[in-house]
Amino acid sequence: MLTLSKRCHIGTALYFESEAAANGAGANVLARAYSPFDTAQVDPLLSRGIRSQELGNHEQALAAFQKALEVARIQNGLFSESQVPIIESMISSEIELKRWEAVNKNYEYLEHLYGKIYTVNNPEFNLALQKISTWHINALDLNLDGQRVKHLREAHKIFKKRLQIARVTSAPDDPIFDYLNESIGLSERELYRYSGAESVIFQARSL
Tell me the per-residue pLDDT of 42-59, one tens digit each, with 9 for 90 and over. 788 999 999 999 999 999
* 68-93 average pLDDT score: 94
Mean pLDDT of the chain: 83
Q: Of residues 157 and 30, which shows the higher confidence score?
A: 157
d(CA 157, CA 206): 9
d(CA 131, CA 38): 31
Q: Is a pLDDT exceeding 60 seen at residue 126?
A: yes
Kindly state the percentage of the chain with pLDDT values over 90.
Answer: 69
Contact 65, 45 (CB under 8 A): yes
Contact 192, 201 (CB under 8 A): yes
Q: DSSP labels for 23-39?
A: T-TTHHHHHSPP-TT-G
d(CA 80, CA 90): 16
- The model carries a pTM of 0.76
Kindly state the percentage of the chain with pLDDT values over 70.
Answer: 75
Q: Is a pLDDT exceeding 60 seen at residue 18?
A: no
Q: Of residues 16 and 103, which shows the higher confidence score?
A: 103
Q: Is a pLDDT exceeding 50 seen at residue 143?
A: yes
pLDDT of residue 43: 86
Sign of the alpha-carbon torsion through 170, 176, 178, 180: negative
One-letter identity of residue 187: S
Lowest mean pLDDT among 94-108, 138-152, 163-177, 186-200: 186-200
Under the banding of pLDDT at 50, 70 and 90, the label for residue 101 is very high
pLDDT of residue 14: 31
pLDDT of residue 196: 66
